[in-house]
Protein backbone atom coordinates (compact mmCIF):
# COMPACT_ATOMS: atom_id res chain seq x y z
CA UNK A 1 0.00 0.00 0.00
CA UNK A 2 2.82 2.40 0.89
CA UNK A 3 4.48 1.69 -2.47
CA UNK A 4 1.27 2.53 -4.34
CA UNK A 5 0.87 5.84 -2.51
CA UNK A 6 4.51 6.70 -3.20
CA UNK A 7 4.10 5.77 -6.87
CA UNK A 8 0.94 7.89 -7.16
CA UNK A 9 2.65 10.89 -5.53
CA UNK A 10 5.70 10.59 -7.78
CA UNK A 11 3.47 10.31 -10.85
CA UNK A 12 1.63 13.50 -9.95
CA UNK A 13 4.88 15.34 -9.23
CA UNK A 14 6.35 14.14 -12.53
CA UNK A 15 3.29 15.28 -14.47
CA UNK A 16 3.42 18.71 -12.87
CA UNK A 17 7.14 18.99 -13.60
CA UNK A 18 6.73 17.91 -17.22
CA UNK A 19 4.04 20.47 -17.97
CA UNK A 20 6.14 23.43 -16.80
CA UNK A 21 7.68 25.98 -19.13
CA UNK A 22 11.24 27.10 -19.27
CA UNK A 23 10.78 30.75 -18.43
CA UNK A 24 13.62 31.33 -20.90
CA UNK A 25 11.53 33.16 -23.51
CA UNK A 26 10.47 29.74 -24.74
CA UNK A 27 13.80 29.23 -26.52
CA UNK A 28 13.81 25.63 -25.37
CA UNK A 29 11.16 23.30 -23.99
CA UNK A 30 11.61 19.71 -22.89
CA UNK A 31 9.15 16.84 -22.63
CA UNK A 32 10.03 13.47 -21.11
CA UNK A 33 7.70 10.46 -21.46
CA UNK A 34 6.89 8.41 -19.57
CA UNK A 35 7.55 10.26 -16.32
CA UNK A 36 7.27 7.02 -14.34
CA UNK A 37 7.97 3.56 -15.76
CA UNK A 38 9.33 0.12 -14.83
CA UNK A 39 12.86 -1.04 -15.59
CA UNK A 40 14.13 -1.66 -18.14
CA UNK A 41 12.40 1.31 -19.73
CA UNK A 42 12.55 3.28 -22.95
CA UNK A 43 12.23 6.98 -22.21
CA UNK A 44 11.51 9.44 -25.00
CA UNK A 45 12.91 12.95 -24.75
CA UNK A 46 11.54 15.68 -27.03
CA UNK A 47 13.33 19.01 -27.12
CA UNK A 48 11.59 21.85 -28.93
CA UNK A 49 13.93 24.63 -30.00
CA UNK A 50 12.50 27.97 -31.15
CA UNK A 51 13.70 28.98 -34.61
CA UNK A 52 16.68 31.31 -34.27
CA UNK A 53 19.60 31.94 -36.64
CA UNK A 54 21.99 31.90 -33.65
CA UNK A 55 21.20 28.30 -32.51
CA UNK A 56 24.27 26.12 -32.88
CA UNK A 57 24.26 23.14 -30.52
CA UNK A 58 21.84 21.01 -28.49
CA UNK A 59 23.00 18.63 -25.75
CA UNK A 60 20.56 16.18 -24.12
CA UNK A 61 21.47 13.94 -21.20
CA UNK A 62 19.85 11.59 -18.68
CA UNK A 63 21.72 10.96 -15.43
CA UNK A 64 20.69 8.87 -12.42
CA UNK A 65 24.05 9.06 -10.67
CA UNK A 66 24.66 5.40 -11.49
CA UNK A 67 23.75 5.46 -15.18
CA UNK A 68 24.36 8.16 -17.80
CA UNK A 69 23.40 8.68 -21.45
CA UNK A 70 23.79 11.73 -23.64
CA UNK A 71 23.49 13.00 -27.20
CA UNK A 72 24.87 16.06 -28.92
CA UNK A 73 23.23 17.58 -31.97
CA UNK A 74 24.71 20.32 -34.12
CA UNK A 75 22.08 22.88 -35.14
CA UNK A 76 22.06 24.89 -38.35
CA UNK A 77 20.50 28.06 -36.94
CA UNK A 78 16.93 28.71 -38.02
CA UNK A 79 17.11 25.82 -40.52
CA UNK A 80 17.37 23.26 -37.70
CA UNK A 81 14.37 21.03 -36.95
CA UNK A 82 11.87 22.48 -34.51
CA UNK A 83 11.66 19.21 -32.53
CA UNK A 84 14.49 16.81 -31.74
CA UNK A 85 13.47 13.41 -30.36
CA UNK A 86 15.90 11.14 -28.54
CA UNK A 87 15.00 7.61 -27.45
CA UNK A 88 16.80 6.24 -24.40
CA UNK A 89 16.22 2.46 -24.48
CA UNK A 90 16.77 -0.04 -21.67
CA UNK A 91 17.23 2.43 -18.83
CA UNK A 92 17.78 0.65 -15.52
CA UNK A 93 15.95 1.67 -12.34
CA UNK A 94 16.74 5.10 -10.96
CA UNK A 95 15.61 8.68 -10.64
CA UNK A 96 16.92 10.44 -13.75
CA UNK A 97 17.60 14.11 -14.20
CA UNK A 98 17.00 14.78 -17.88
CA UNK A 99 18.63 17.96 -19.09
CA UNK A 100 18.71 19.83 -22.39
CA UNK A 101 21.27 22.54 -23.07
CA UNK A 102 20.86 24.88 -26.05
CA UNK A 103 23.94 26.92 -27.00
CA UNK A 104 23.97 29.84 -29.41
CA UNK A 105 26.80 31.21 -31.57
CA UNK A 106 27.94 33.50 -28.70
CA UNK A 107 28.30 30.55 -26.30
CA UNK A 108 25.22 31.54 -24.25
CA UNK A 109 23.29 28.56 -22.88
CA UNK A 110 19.64 27.89 -22.11
CA UNK A 111 19.16 24.91 -19.76
CA UNK A 112 15.97 22.99 -19.01
CA UNK A 113 15.66 20.05 -16.58
CA UNK A 114 12.99 17.41 -16.03
CA UNK A 115 12.80 14.25 -13.93
CA UNK A 116 11.98 10.68 -14.97
CA UNK A 117 11.54 7.85 -12.49
CA UNK A 118 12.32 4.31 -13.63
CA UNK A 119 11.15 1.86 -10.97
CA UNK A 120 13.24 -1.18 -10.17
CA UNK A 121 11.89 -4.72 -10.18
CA UNK A 122 8.41 -5.32 -8.80
CA UNK A 123 7.59 -1.60 -8.65
CA UNK A 124 10.11 -0.83 -5.94
CA UNK A 125 11.34 2.77 -5.92
CA UNK A 126 15.06 3.26 -6.54
CA UNK A 127 17.38 3.43 -3.55
CATH code: domain of residue 67: 2.60.40.730
Q: Decide if 125 contacts 5 (C-beta within 8 A).
A: no
CA–CA dist 38, 7 (Å, integer): 11
Which domain, by its residues, includes 7?
Answer: 2-121
In a domain, 92, yes or no: yes
pLDDT at 120: 87
- Evaluate if residue 107 carries a pLDDT over 50: yes
Q: Is the per-residue pLDDT at 17 higher than 50?
A: no
Helix (H) / strand (E) containing 68: strand 68-74
Dihedral over alpha carbons 8, 14, 19, 25 (to 10 degrees): 160
Residue 126 placed within a domain: no
Percent of the chain with pLDDT over 70: 75
pLDDT at residue 127, as a whole number: 57
Total number of domains constituting the chain: 1
Note whether residue 31 is domain-resident. yes
pLDDT, tens only, 51-91: 999 999 999 999 999 999 999 999 999 999 999 999 999 99
Report if residue 127 sits inside a domain. no
The pTM of the full predicted model, rounded to 2 decimals, is 0.75
- Is 47 within the bounds of a domain? yes
Dihedral, CA atoms, 38, 86, 18, 20, nearest 10 degrees? 170
Amino acid sequence: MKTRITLAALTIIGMLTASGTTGASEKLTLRVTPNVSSAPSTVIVKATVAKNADNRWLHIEADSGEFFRSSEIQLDGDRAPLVTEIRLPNLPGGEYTVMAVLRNNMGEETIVRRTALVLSRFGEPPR
